[in-house]
Amino acid sequence: MTNLGAIVLAGGGARRLGGQMKPALRVGGVRMIDRVLVAVGGADPIIVVGPAALGVPPTIIRVQEDPAGGGPVSAIGAAFALLALRATSSVAIVAGDLPLLQPTDVERLTSALAMGDDGALFVDADGRQQWLCGVWRTAAIGERLAGFGSLAGGALRKLFAPMRIVEVHTDATDLPPFYDCDTDDDIRRVEEWLRR
């Protein structure tokens, strides 16, 4: 993963999980955020956007969007301000609650991006683009953010959709790498899958 940075979005309130810090919840004994950090471990820098209480290793840069709770576009903007100081040509942008994401998935997205266009992301079986499981050209994200206007409350579709995107389909027959955990049932399902 040469010249790749990573932005991990780990803010937001998990209303369906009692308002807990979702990325800090354990799945199979490991916090979801820690699983995601392993998946993007080949990137430099790795920037986590989320509250200080989340607790990340000292090698990870942590930042909070302003205002806190301003949404994913605002979070990407906060991290990008730091990322822009580094000479990264591409950036993985992923959610912090993807316990099944693996380094090989990030490598696959990175390889797809190398073929051209502005970004590469996973799509589900119904063709829905998974905005928070992709790798993007840093310059393309910078251009979109610069012309976006107010980032707080902004929609991911408005940020990403105008770009040239390579869609990556997964061979997963059950739970894909972009499977996120929004409910206790989701967590139980992933734990059952991990025990196989």
> Residue 14: is its pLDDT beyond 60?
no
Residues 6+ apart with CB under 8 A from 94: 6, 7, 8, 9, 36, 39, 40, 101, 106, 132, 133, 134
Question: CA geometry: angle at 172 spanning 166 and 173, to 5°?
Answer: 135
Q: Pairing mode, if any, of strands 129-137 and 119-123?
A: antiparallel
- Contact predicate 135/113, CB 8 Å: yes
Q: How far is CA 16 from CA 12, 20, 186, in A?
A: 12, 9, 11
Q: Where are the domains of the chain?
A: 4-194
pTM: 0.93
- C-alpha to C-alpha distance for 122 and 135, rounded to whole angstroms: 9
Q: Which of 175, 185, 151, 180 is nearest to 22 (CA)?
A: 180
Which of the residue ranges 12-26, 53-67, 96-110, 174-188 would you say has the lowest mean pLDDT? 12-26
The second-level CATH assignment, the architecture, of 4-194 is: Alpha-Beta Complex (3.90)
* pLDDT of 1: 44
132-175, pLDDT tens digit by residue?
A: 999 999 999 999 999 998 999 999 999 999 999 999 998 766 78
Tokens, residue 187: 């967590």
> Residue 101: is its pLDDT beyond 70?
yes
| Mean pLDDT across the chain | 90
